[in-house]
Structure 1
Amino acid sequence: MARTNIWIPMLALVAATAYLQPAAAAPAARQRPAIERRGQDLLPSAQALRLSRAHKSAPAPGTTAAAVTVDDVGDVDSFDRNLKWLGVTNAFVTLDSACDPATTEHCQVIGPGQTNFNFADVAHITLPGKSAKSLMCYWFSPVINVTYSNPGPTPAVSLLRYNPTLTVDNPMLSDPALIDPNTGLPFGGHLTTSMTSSEFFQVPLPPATTISERTRDSAVCIAGFLNRRMMIDTYGFSEAQADEFFKKPMTIHLNVSGAVRGVALANFVFGLRIIGD
């Protein structure tokens, strides 16, 4: 009897079955960002919007932020620059009925009536050249402990006033052609700037009364005690000289002056930090 090959019909059946089956699904098309339908408008998803805005706002490689004007930001020289920490120091000033030079370096004896005081260089910070590019600011934190006293038989008003300033030494200020507009004379190696940190206290006291107070506050940077535009507009530097000024080493000295009346004791602690761009 001849052998029947059963594999041939089976292969044909398999082929026919494959032919009748539907073709495999095509690979899924790449999905577009999700959308949200509102009326007839198609709005991109929140994620798509964020990506689109980031792309539009990012500066092209190798470029800087778009140019700004004084009307836009006020200070175009320091715009978009990082803050730099440039040093910190503190100073101690005492007003008392007696001073011991061995324990109090900056001390003023309080006399009858009004007593004025004036201390130069109670603290300083020395910076290397190129510490800042166009702006230098102070953070100033005074702590004051004061005892007001009226030992007399009639009411009186006690007074405490102080005024800090900064003196800046810089080699550029030794140029005799550069004139200090405050004095009309050459700078002589340094200039002195005011600070928006002066304070004035008046305390009414009944007869035979003594009270003690502690005050604590801070003043921080706004325009800076020195900036490039100030060097040009206020101190008469050329643009090249203003740029060179910030490339030089400099020392910043803290000074304090003021007056007291009806004060038995006053202790000042001045914290000073310098920052720049």
Structure 2
Amino acid sequence: PIAVADAVKVIDPLIGALGDKDWTVRRRAAEALGPVCKVKEPPTDPLEQQKLAAPVGPLIALLSADEPRDVRAGAAESLGLMGGVRAAGPLGVALANDAQRAGASQELALALERIGEPAVPALQAALQHSDADVRELATATLANIGGPASARPLATRLSREAEDAVRVRRVAANALRNLAESAYSPAGSPALQTELGKVLQTLARALADTDWHVYVAARDALAKVGRSAVPELINAMAAGDPRVSYTAAEGLARIGVAAVPQLLSSITERPDS
């Protein structure tokens, strides 16, 4: 990071270079602006704050599909470093419009990851894209962002993906397992626990998935949630499918003693099950 005084001296020339007719000059300027604007200490002076934010608009303009791939990648990297909700929306749109592996998808995704939870709403278009590869990348980006805001969008992808989009379901299921491990660790987040509580039915339904990666991840997530997941596991165990019942029983066994009271109550209420 550089000092604010040094950064403000070079921002205007670099912004000017973004309009150069030579695309390699535009690329180098785009790549430079992010590191330049990551100053040692955030300024308190409003004019300096305005100056450091000035490149965001011109960099967003470079996300256009008309620009060469490397220019767009450089702009995405700098926008990710600078962060902020203002950049998240255009980055999400660019990701949804970008042809994976042919464009700057990886750089766009990384930029959104760097912005963090404020970028979650911006991923919606890519998460609903008709191309499974784009949905997979968006789901992986959401998984890497993590946090409470990602739980329900991940559950949506887990429940709505078609049978042939198994890779997307795997990414979503693994991400939910990781969220559960984080939420119920000693330093776990109550907000994340609350959001996971809203997707327990989706995780329980995923026990019936045809892919073992998916149903094992769902089992592990439910087991990590613990007592509040017991009713869903009991229902799954009684559903009639031997494999699903066995997987649900494994989840209950992993919960251990905390599952016993509800399990005994269920047996009493349903003696034939």
Larger helix proportion of the pair: 2
TM-score (norm 2): 0.22
Larger strand proportion of the pair: 1
TM-score (norm 1): 0.22
